[in-house]
Amino acid sequence: LAKTTQPISMDSYEGQEVNITCSHNNIATNDYITWYQQFPSQGPRFIIQGYKTKVTNEVASLFIPADRKSSTLSLPRVSLSDTAVYYCLVGDPKAAGNKLTFGGGTRVLVKP
Amino acid sequence: NAGVTQTPKFRVLKTGQSMTLLCAQDMNHEYMYWYRQDPGMGLRLIHYSVGEGTTAKGEVPDGYNVSRLKKQNFLLGLESAAPSQTSVYFCASSYGNLAKNIQYFGAGTRLSVL
């Protein structure tokens, strides 16, 4: 699975937009980019997934440039409840076992 | 809709004791996984299963065994617990390679080995 690099932590304030960039320089042709969110004392939860360009759902947007060597998760108008750890994962969804490799994630703290 | 349920939620063991963690999913998922998460770190894959009756090793399998006798259940066993196995254990499941690599996680089991 492709190795990813993301910031260790980020601080923000309520109502602001939070953008977390993930680097994945050796992403393979069949790899998808997936983001998970983990609240304290809970298991990770799927947020969004994309292959190229832009993907948007009710929770977040995912921007992927043409070279796919990085991606940016955008959380619009965050609230205190968005305080969590966000993980960027890269992998081939058709690979044997659908295994995921979690890095350290980005700890986002939303302040009032 | 329960999703992925893990039991127990908490457990304290003495070194050398054994125990089994149970994971149950009601989504008819083919694939199931066991991870451990140590403080301040990401999750690491212990074992996984791509179907009933099959299991495979993940990144950190030593000291653990698993069984998938029924499609909806995935058991993680510690035969002789060690303090290094103190961690939070998460179970997850997914549809398998027909879907886009989305895993659904349980709430976790917090294990302390003294």
Give percent above pLDDT 70 in chain B: 95
| pLDDT of B75 higher than 90 | yes
Residue A80 main-chain phi, psi, to 5 deg: -55, -30
Give B51's contacts (C-beta < 8 A, 6+ positions apart): B30, B31, B68, B71
Q: Which residues pair with A112 in a beta bridge?
A: none
Cβ of A97 and B90 within 8 Å? Answer: no
Q: Distance between CA atoms of B114 and B99, rounded to whole angstroms?
A: 41
Does A40 touch chain B if contact means CB atoms closer than 8 Å?
Answer: no
The sheet carrying A106-111 orders its strands as A9-13, A106-111, A84-91, A32-38, A45-50
Residue type, B88: V
For the stretch A17-37, pLDDT in tens is 999 999 999 998 988 999 999
Q: Please state, in angstroms and as integers, the Cα–Cα distance from residue B109 to each residue in B12, B27, B106, following that order.
A: 11, 20, 9
Band of residue A2 on the pLDDT scale cut at 50, 70, 90: low
Band of residue A42 on the pLDDT scale cut at 50, 70, 90: very high
For an interface test with B, the pick among A49, A100, A106 (most B C-beta atoms closer than 10 Å) comes out as A100
User: Rounded mean pLDDT of B93-98?
Assistant: 78
Nearest by CB to residue A45, choosing from B33, B101, B105, is: B105
3-state helix vs strand vs coil in chain B, percent to 5: 5, 50, 50
Q: Which chain A residues have a beta carbon less than 8 Å from that of B59?
A: 101
Band of residue B98 on the pLDDT scale cut at 50, 70, 90: low
| pLDDT of A1 higher than 60 | no
pLDDT of residue B2: 73
Q: Running DSSP on this structure, what letter comes out for residue B51? A: S
User: Rounded mean pLDDT of B90-99?
Assistant: 82
Q: Please state, in angstroms and as integers, the Cα–Cα distance from residue A12 to each residue in A85, A109, A110, following that order.
A: 13, 6, 5
3 state DSSP class of B84: helix
Cβ of B105 and A49 within 8 Å? Answer: no
For the stretch A84-101, pLDDT in tens is 999 999 888 777 777 778
Tokens of B1: 């809709």
For the stretch B2-58, pLDDT in tens is 799 999 999 999 999 999 999 999 999 999 999 999 988 889 999 999 999 999 999
Q: Distance between CA atoms of B94 and B103, rounded to whole angstroms?
A: 5
